[in-house]
A and B are shown apart, each in its own frame.
Chain A
Amino acid sequence: GQQLNQSPQSMFIQEGEDVSMNCTSSSIFNTWLWYKQEPGEGPVLLIALYKAGELTSNGRLTAQFGITRKDSFLNISASIPSDVGIYFCAGQLAHDMRFGAGTRLTVKP
């Protein structure tokens, strides 16, 4: 099935730096979600967005649902070592959820 275009594929940053990643699609979605996956675990929900234009924060994380309903971004401010992992975007329409290929984040202390 059609997957989302997520970028960048990987990021190597210094602790304290800000991070930005985004996702685009050729299809519209009703919900955009951002998950984080650590080794040996399933994806864990970070932020869910339900309305076009919605901007939502969860601690140091901020995400936006694009106006066109075809894109979303996630920002992480003041990164810390425990932010390491793979971040996935997901667009959802009813039961149908499509995922990006993930952004692998490495944070150097």
Chain B
Amino acid sequence: GAGVSQSPSNKVTEKGKDVELRCDPISGHTALYWYRQSLGQGLEFLIYFQGNSAPDKSGLPSDRFSAERTGGSVSTLTIQRTQQEDSAVYLCASSHSTGSGTKNIQYFGAGTRLSVL
């Protein structure tokens, strides 16, 4: 697609339920990133994919968080047994590659605003 697409744009869930957030990167971009943005804060790195593999999962805050990417394209971030502190905007970004210069510029989707009641 023309840009990074995320769905849903808003998700309200009850504490304890599982949620799935979807990211469709820019066509041809091999690298995909998930970030979390809490209210009034900067972006917190969660996980990075190169193709279908995730060389860096260091930002996932707990084992309730997982992500996968299939076909080198769409990625799903899953949060199990959601807690109120999981409420945030989850942003996805993609880049052409992770080389130096313009090819590793990250382009962002509009995010999914998650509210855990």
Q: Does B110 make an interface contact (CB < 8 A)?
A: yes
Tell me the nearest residue of chain B to A100, going by C-beta: B42
Contact (Cβ within 8 A) A92 B110: no
What A residues does B45 contact at CB under 8 A?
A: 1, 96-98
Q: Does A101 make an interface contact (CB < 8 A)?
A: yes
Contact (Cβ within 8 A) A95 B98: yes
Tell me the nearest residue of chain B to A98, going by C-beta: B45
The total number of A-B Cβ pairs within 8 Å is 63
Contact (Cβ within 8 A) B43 A43: yes
Contact (Cβ within 8 A) A92 B43: no
Contact (Cβ within 8 A) A30 B110: no
Q: Does B25 make an interface contact (CB < 8 A)?
A: no
Which chain B residues numbered 63 to 110 have a C-beta less than 8 Å away from chain A? Answer: 91, 93, 98, 100-102, 104-110
Contact mask for chain A residues 22-45; partner B; CB cutoff 8 A; 1 contact, 0 none: 000000001101010000111111
